[in-house]
Amino acid sequence: MREGPPRYPYRAPIDAYGNGGFRFAEMSHKGSILCLPSGIYAWDVASPDEFVLGSFDRVFAEKDRIRFLLLGTGRTQVFPSLEIRGGFAAAGLGLEPMDTGAACRTYNILLAEHREVAAALIAVD
């Protein structure tokens, strides 16, 4: 029996994005994803309008294993609300919003450098 939410249980670079999803580790996923030290998870956020502090609970649960989150906000860069930025500051985590493509590329570079990074990536068409 499987415990916890569905996930790919390792870190992996993002091989491709677009068409509403992502490719990584010779697999594909439709929809948005969270890339964390404990693995890659489906993320139920489809647009920056849906951001609430609770959207990042899984990130905060792993805050001791990451220094900052790359936030891929879709086709364009969107800055999150003051509440969300404050939540990250209170948790001692950096937050770097950028478009999803830039976030994927930056995540891959930092992952290859073995940096303590995580990513929350909104799928784009």
Q: How far apart are CA 55 and CA 123, in angstroms?
A: 15
Show Cβ contacts of residue 38 under 8 Å, excluding neighbours closer than 6 positions.
7, 9, 62, 65
Written as one letter, the residue type at 35 is: C
Question: For a pLDDT cut of 90, what percent of the chain falls above it?
Answer: 93
* Residue numbers of the domain that contains 94: 7-121
Kindly state whether residue 1 falls inside one of the protein's structural domains: no
If one counts the domains in the chain, the total is 1
Kindly state whether residue 11 falls inside one of the protein's structural domains: yes
Q: In degrees rounded to 5, what are phi and psi of residue 123?
A: -65, 145
Kindly state whether residue 2 falls inside one of the protein's structural domains: no
Q: How far apart are CA 49 and CA 28, in angstroms?
A: 25
Kindly state whether residue 73 falls inside one of the protein's structural domains: yes
pLDDT at 1: 41
Overall average pLDDT of the 40-56 stretch: 97
Which CATH number does the domain housing residue 65 bear? 3.40.1230.10
Kindly state whether residue 68 falls inside one of the protein's structural domains: yes
Q: How far apart are CA 33 and CA 16, in angstroms?
A: 13
Query: E strand or H helix at 40, and its extent?
Result: strand 39-43
For residues 51 and 34, is the Cβ–Cβ distance under 8 A? no
User: For residue range 62-94, what is the model confidence (pLDDT) as tens digits?
Assistant: 999 999 999 999 999 999 999 999 999 999 999
Q: How far apart are CA 6 and CA 2, in angstroms?
A: 9
pLDDT at 7: 82
Structure tokens at 103: 């976030």
Average pLDDT across the chain, whole number: 95
Bridge partners for 55 per DSSP: none
